Amino acid sequence: MAKSVLIVDDDELIRSFLHTILQEEGHRVEEAKNGREGLAKVIAGDYDLVITDLKMPALSGLELLQEGRKQKPESRWIVITAFGSIENAVEAMKAGAADYLTKPFRHPGDLRRVIQRVLREAQAEQTISFLSEELGKQFPPLEMIFLGEKMQQVHRLVKEVAPTPTSVLISGPSGTGKELVARVVHQFSPRKEEPFVAVHCAALAETLLESELFGHERGAFTGAVNARKGRFELADGGTIFLDEIGDLPPAVQVKLLRVLQEREFERVGGTKTLAVDVRVVSATNKDLKTEVDSRRFREDLFYRLNVFPIHLPPLVERPEAILSLAEYFANKFAVSFGKNFSGFTPSAEAALKGYGWPGNIRELQNVIERAAILSSGEVDAHHLNLEFSENEFPPTGGLLRNLERETIQKVLSEVGANRKKAAQILGISLRTLQYRIKEYGL
């Protein structure tokens, strides 16, 4: 994966030698003839790696390293020192250098190995930093994500498209798990070891969104004190997920179309063309074809994004998945809160099945989190606090009581009136079962 590298050395031959090696590896390379010029470039630019000689006039490599790391702490540094002056390299390592090279250089292969290792470490750190939120999440297992016949169809599509570089457009109502499916596409792809970078297009103003996607140069706008990489650069080699793509402003749509067509772009306020290798997965809760017909969304961009469409059904169309997902979330939150979860009462199950879930899986997760806080062991209908419409199955009243009574009566008959067994099958405590038996006159 191409990286941006700055070489700082007062020896033109060494600069040229390193420049050639790095260019052969496919990296973007710049040079500085001394420490002062190097520091100016570090401040103004945005380099993945800086290689600097330690012994230079005016501003030494060590001084450049110390000041440069204050300005750009995310950059990695390799220092060059004369053979026999290892103590200088040790001092530089203490100041934050990732590694050192000794001159005269022995073999280009040795240089390549050091540079490749340092750049790999830099990529790993960048990825971990950027995806720290993702790494802290616990996603459901695949069989839970793709529960139900309609989601099994989605699973088959994901497995077909994931190994390809094809652009994917995931549609469906809010809260159906579009980002989760996008992450599965990434994990099934050859890019799984590279970054997965998510951008929520509706959350940012147009000016900020352009900078967020493509980065900006120093001074590009008020507040742009330093140059900054955009999400496309951070996702180089991996996958970028563009959520709510239907809210993309027209000016940004033009730039995105160019990236999809040419695989290149310029930062905001910049003139240098940057090339990227990124797989684009986008998502929307809008009907993009309608947006195209209304001229709010570019037709050519729509066809570029919609090469492989995947539609996610709302939760109400996946009734077989509701209880399993609810149990998964309940167990997860019980562990988080240091509580026990012993199941849902029949009334809670009836409420979960009868509710319309307009907020889909996201709403279900929030409802279960609240219920896990309120309950102690088993979750009852009143813990769920669901607001039913006239067309939905109510959480209380005669119909629900009759259903619960019939369920308990049926289970008791099946186990020969063994209350302990019946309570285990129903997922409630023996005490609750005895209360219900008395309440219903069984």
Domains 142-313 and 316-440 belong to one CATH topology: no
Q: C-alpha distances in angstroms, 33 versus 10, 16, 62, 80, 252?
A: 5, 11, 15, 14, 38
Q: Give the CATH number of domain 316-440; options: 2.170.190.11, 1.10.150.240, 1.10.8.60, 1.20.1250.20.
A: 1.10.8.60
Q: Where are the beta strands (DSSP E) in 164-278?
A: 168-171, 196-200, 239-243, 264-266, 273-275
User: Which residues contact residue 171 at a Cβ distance below 8 angstroms, ignoring those fewer than 6 apart?
Assistant: 178, 283, 284, 285, 287, 288, 309, 310, 311, 312
Q: Which amino acid, residue 135?
A: L
Q: What SS3 state is found at 397?
A: coil
Domain ranges, ordered by start, for the chain:
4-130, 142-313, 316-440
Domain 4-130 is in which class? alpha beta
> In this predicted model, what pLDDT tens digit does every residue of 388-441 receive, in sequence order?
655 555 444 455 566 667 778 888 888 888 888 887 777 677 877 887 787 777
User: Which residues contact residue 393 at a Cβ distance below 8 angstroms, ignoring those fewer than 6 apart?
Assistant: 350, 351, 353, 354, 355, 399, 400
**CA 170 to chain centroid:** 15
Residue 9: pLDDT band by 50, 70, 90 thresholds? very high
pLDDT, residue 88, reads: 76
Domain 142-313 is in which class? alpha beta
% of the chain beyond a pLDDT of 70: 89
> In this predicted model, what pLDDT tens digit does every residue of 76-126 receive, in sequence order?
899 988 766 777 778 888 888 888 888 888 778 878 888 888 887 766 565
> In this predicted model, what pLDDT tens digit does every residue of 119-159 receive, in sequence order?
877 665 654 444 444 433 445 677 788 888 899 999 999 99
| pTM (global) more than 0.85 | no
